[in-house]
Amino acid sequence: MSKPIWPRIPSGFVRAVLAGHSALGLAFAALIYLVCFSGTVAVYANELHRWERPDVPVAGPASATVVQAAAAEALAVHGKAEHLFINLPTPDLPRLTIYVDKEKGEDPRVVAGADGHLIGPQGTAWTDFMARLHIDLHLPQTWGIFIVGLTGVTLLSSLISGLFAHPRVFRDAFHLRWGGSKRLQEADLHNRIGVWGLPFHVMISLTGAFLGLTTIIVGILALAVFKGDVNKAYELFLPPQPIDDPRPAPLPDIKTAFSHLPRMGADGPPTYVGLEHPGERGGAILIVAGPEGRLSRGDNYTFDAAGQPLSEQGIGSETVGAQIIQAVSQLHFGWFGGWAVKLAYAILGAGITIVTSSGVAIWLARRRAKGRPAPRWERIWIAAVWSQPIAYPLSALAALLAGAPPLAVWALATLAALATAAAFETERLSRVLPLTGGLLLVILPLAHALVWRGRVADPMAWFVETAILALGLGLLASVLVTSLAARPRLLAVQPAE
Amino acid sequence: MTGPGVALACALLLAAGLGAGWLLRTAWRRRDANRPLLMLAGWGVLIAASLAAAPVLGQARGPFIAFAVLPIAVLALIAAGVQIRDPRKRAPREAALEPSERASKTWRGWLRALLAGPIGGVAAMGVALAWTIWAPGPPQTRMVVGGLLVPVLWGGAMAWTLADDKILRATAVLAGVTVVTFTASILKGFS
């Protein structure tokens, strides 16, 4: 027998790290699980956006004239705005959408056709709910983003301690033992996905923590080095801004601004146009442009209201720091390599969600094996894990069929799923909740197809429909297989009559 | 490279991952003289695939695509080799270690939570701040690298303080790091 390649780690050290790993994992398990689950779904935010509003035709690259027309109509319909945030059609989201940032009241989101004429409201309440759930948990924004960032730090910490708490990392490298000891089964699942997916897990937790903690990091850096002026810190990454001048003026000249882009070094089409104080003399235009197929979302170019450049070249790729900033969110959400990368992100995103779920399951199985079972916590954790595959499709279904607010439905469904922990025993919970989730996942695309029949203009809707249906059927099949496999066992323990 | 090209490159990465996984699994199963060679070959394929992704898929994004695709191939190989056990049979004795049992004094619990949370966070911020102020290079790069250091160091501090039984040592180190880094930052100021 050859010698092990991994240095022998003292068992006292491993046990201490394991204690810390367990404590942190248990304290943040529900939060990490929710953030990982919601993040996995958020990878497909653009596809779900298109599925939720499938009647918008697919549009190609938008010309300056089209963008100008869409901006003018958005302001004409919705009145004066502080900003207009215009996302131009891209291969991922081939439609022109406008966020109208009003000074007071609700901010309308609208969608325009390929000619720049407004089609109507964006109509993606569920996708917006789903994205915000991952970004700030629908809490007050600063706090919510910070809590999600902190969750990223705890996940990163768990990955570090998990690696040190795993002295058999090579010895068990390919073991996946299913059935028999519950603890061994969950530990194999937890360790194999955790270890082999480690580069991805570190990348996701680090970028997530960075995005979530940006406000506090910039705040502290600014407090210490810019006498508390946060804007000075942000100015390092942004092109120059115009001087504020509220006197009325025509809409900023997007067409002229577009014409300057090649000379300024833009090496790809514009993907985003931001109008600051449109209709004022101090208005400005921000354009993000860059080629497809890069990690960066593109460089930033600013112009005054007349469309004249405010700097000689784009900002975003001149330093390593600026390049990292441009890449972080793309890297976090997997929006940099088309459907193949998104699929990989979804699989490994589901993987880290399973790692979180199995971590708690190991702790519960360990307690049971030591003669100290915690049946109430076992039921609560099963209900918590399966609450999301129920709450997500149910909230989408309620939004689709009745226009119900997704957040309220999601919260009620999550609470209802958690309440089942008091009503059913462990075995039944493990069947009923996945079954409910599977059924909802099957009903949702069928209902969607029925509601939008004859009006689907974006073929992406059919792809999403099929994917959701396959997920639902897969879940139902897995419940069926598990139930059938458990049957002989259940029969075996029936008392003889 | 976009669309179908990326998908094709991902398929090649997947194939490389399967090949590397097979080599490593063979090394893991065999305990003979060829084991080191198989291991070297397996890790070699993984590293070569990650490096080759840069010129093919883009200097910056290529390796990240490899990090996302390669693990899936190995995990698929592991899933294919799943060992189904008979639940009626007695489970083998497990070799896994148990977490250590600690003295459960309330003040230690609170101090540990404070060290892992705010104190660790402030110490990490201190290092990031000192880095931003003292490191060479453009200010944007120093700020971003400093910002990335915060979650890494905070996460590391969290893992360490929750594991270290000598809690006062952890307190002293984190307090010391905070004082030294903030003092160093104040002394130089931003330029």
Q: Please report residues of A whose CB lies closer than 8 A to that of B10.
A: 337, 340-341, 344
β partners of residue A289: A270, A299
Q: b/e string for B58-78 if b means 16 or more Cβ within 10 A?
A: bebbbbbbbbbbbbbbbbebb
* Chain-chain contact of B10 with A160 (C-beta, under 8 angstroms): no
**Regions of chain A where pLDDT drops below 50:** 1, 494-497
* Chain-chain contact of A17 with B185 (C-beta, under 8 angstroms): no
At A303 the three-state DSSP class reads strand
A116 dihedral zone (left: phi>0; alpha: psi -120 to 50; beta): left
* Chain-chain contact of A178 with B82 (C-beta, under 8 angstroms): yes
**B91, B102, B129: residue with CB nearest A220:** B129
- B42: distance to nearest CA of chain A, Å? 13
Task: Calculate Rg over the CA atoms of chain B.
Answer: 24
Average pLDDT, chain A: 92
| pLDDT the model gives residue B3 | 78
- B169: distance to nearest CA of chain A, Å? 15
* Chain-chain contact of A174 with B77 (C-beta, under 8 angstroms): yes
At B176, the amino acid letter reads G
Nearby residues of A286 by Cβ (< 8 Å), 6 or more positions away: A239, A272, A273, A274, A275, A276, A300, A301, A302
- A28: distance to nearest CA of chain B, Å? 12
Using CA atoms, how far apart are residues B81 and B91, in angstroms rounded to an integer?
Answer: 19
ipTM: 0.93
* Chain-chain contact of A173 with B77 (C-beta, under 8 angstroms): no
User: Which pairing describes strands A109-112 and A96-101: parallel, antiparallel, or unpaired?
Assistant: antiparallel
A 66-95 near B (Cβ less than 8 A):
91
- Asked if A112 and A93 count as a contact pair (C-beta separation under 8 A), the reply is no
* Chain-chain contact of A196 with B78 (C-beta, under 8 angstroms): yes
| pLDDT the model gives residue A5 | 62
How many CA atoms are closer than 13 Å to the CA of A337, on its beta-carbon side? Answer: 31
Q: Which residue of A has its CA nearest to B35?
A: A2
Long-range contact set of residues A80-86: C-beta below 8 Å, sequence gap at least 24: A80/A279, A81/A278, A82/A276, A82/A277, A83/A274, A83/A275, A83/A276, A83/A277, A83/A278, A84/A273, A84/A274, A84/A275, A84/A278, A85/A272, A85/A274, A86/A272, A86/A273, A86/A274, A86/A275
Q: b/e string for A220-233 if b means 16 or more Cβ within 10 A?
A: bbbebbbeeeeeeb
* Per-domain boundaries in chain B: 3-80, 106-188
User: Which pairing describes strands A96-101 and A83-87: parallel, antiparallel, or unpaired?
Assistant: antiparallel
- A184: distance to nearest CA of chain B, Å? 8
Q: Answer whether 0.95 is exceeded by the pTM.
A: no
User: Which pairing describes strands A299-304 and A284-289: parallel, antiparallel, or unpaired?
Assistant: antiparallel
CA distances from residue B103 to A10, A198, A467, A483, B174 in whole angstroms, order as listed:
20, 33, 51, 43, 22
At B191, the amino acid letter reads S
A181 at B interface, C-beta within 8 A:
yes
- State the DSSP code for A283: -
A 91-150 near B (Cβ less than 8 A):
91, 149
A8 at B interface, C-beta within 8 A:
no
Q: Where are the beta strands (DSSP E) in A44-162?
A: 83-87, 96-101, 109-112, 118-121
At A404 the three-state DSSP class reads coil
Q: Which residue of B has its CA nearest to A323?
A: B141
Across residues B18-25, what is the average pLDDT?
A: 96
For chains A and B, what is the number of CB pairs under 8 angstroms? 261
- B91 pLDDT band (50/70/90 cuts)? low
H or E segment to which residue A261 belongs: none
Give first-to-last CA distance, chain A, whole Å.
53
B176 at A interface, C-beta within 8 A:
no
H or E segment to which residue A158 belongs: helix A141-164
Across residues B116-142, what is the average pLDDT?
A: 93
